[in-house]
Amino acid sequence: MTQSRKLKKTIRARARKTGERYTAARRMVLKRRALATPVSAALKARETRVVERTGHGWQHWFSVLDRFGAEEKGHTAAARHVAEDHGVDGWYSQLITVEYERARGLRAANQRLSGEYEVSVSKVLKAPVGAVAKALRDSKAGWAAALDPELRSGFQAALAGAKGLRERGRGGATMRFKSAGGVSVALYLDPKPNGRSQLVAQNMKLAGPAGVERLRSDWKKAFAALDRQLEP
């Protein structure tokens, strides 16, 4: 049973029990559910920025989408409601709607609108961009052994290709490649203060949540090995 069907069943059950009209029963069910669903610690950490840009926190926006009937009307209509009827910037209206869907069990963590999954892994390394780029270009370096064979093969093929690791603005570098299994990866390397750098691996087009945890683990091990390799 989908979440929206469960919600309707709960509302109808309350209406039968209390004699309320469907709309009144729905309002009370949503109010109780909002009170019973605390905002996660991860969302709380991001709430200040949301309040600055939209004027309200997560609970307010989740209640707005509950009243709108976002579960039944779908993502596009819900995001448009937040943007057009409440004057929220397009990017933040999407963010609010996605986090609402996750909080209400309509979307899994790391799941995109397409149904595909993605995961990003980052690490601040104790070496400047130039040293990290040199280590990345060494496709036989030990750090890459932590990646699964398909991912490692795609990485090595991209290094040998015409594009490889390319420079980008503000002294950073970027690289894109695909594994034989269809996973699309974007690497971003950027300078950090005190001679350090940050490396991010964004993994896209994953088929399911199992791939999220596997890739998260692989890249964490690879980045840790790379950091050790860069030690003087």
Q: Domain boundaries in the chain?
A: 3-103, 117-229
Is residue 158 a contact partner of residue 152, using CB atoms and an 8 Å limit?
Answer: no
Report the residue count for the chain.
Answer: 232
| Across 72-87, average pLDDT | 91
| Across 176-199, average pLDDT | 91
The amino acid occupying position 122 is S
Q: Residue 230 and residue 224: Cα distance in Å, rounded?
A: 10
Instruction: List the structure tokens of 109.
Output: 């963590």
Please report which confidence band the pLDDT of residue 31 belongs to, taking 50, 70 and 90 as the band edges.
low
Q: Residue 59 and residue 35: Cα distance in Å, rounded?
A: 9
pTM reported for the whole predicted model: 0.58
| Across 34-60, average pLDDT | 77
Given a cut of 90, is residue 224 above it in pLDDT?
Answer: yes
| Nearest 10 degrees: Cα torsion 5, 36, 84, 48 | -150
| Across 149-174, average pLDDT | 85
Given a cut of 60, is residue 157 above it in pLDDT?
Answer: yes
The per-residue pLDDT for 1 is 44
Lowest mean pLDDT across 73-77, 102-106, 225-229: 102-106
Given a cut of 80, is residue 105 above it in pLDDT?
Answer: no
User: DSSP per residue over 169-219, as a string?
Assistant: GGGEEEEEEE-TTS-EEEEEEEEETTTEEEEEEEEEEESSHHHHHHHHHHH
Other beta carbons within 10 Å of 147: 21
User: DSSP per residue over the chain, as a string?
Assistant: --HHHHHHHHHHHHHHHH---HHHHHHHHHHHHHHHSPPPHHHHHTHHHHHHHHSS-HHHHHHHHHHHTHHHH-HHHHHHIIIIIH---HHHHHHHHHHHHHHTTSS-TTB-TTS-EEEEEEEEESS-HHHHHHHHH-TT-GGGGGS-HHHHHHHHHHHHSSSSSEEEGGGEEEEEEE-TTS-EEEEEEEEETTTEEEEEEEEEEESSHHHHHHHHHHHHHHHHHHHHHT--
Q: What percent of the chain has pLDDT over 70?
A: 85
Q: How high is the mean pLDDT of the chain?
A: 83
Please report which confidence band the pLDDT of residue 34 belongs to, taking 50, 70 and 90 as the band edges.
low
The answer regarding whether domain 117-229 maps to CATH 3.30.530.20 reads yes
Please report which confidence band the pLDDT of residue 171 belongs to, taking 50, 70 and 90 as the band edges.
confident
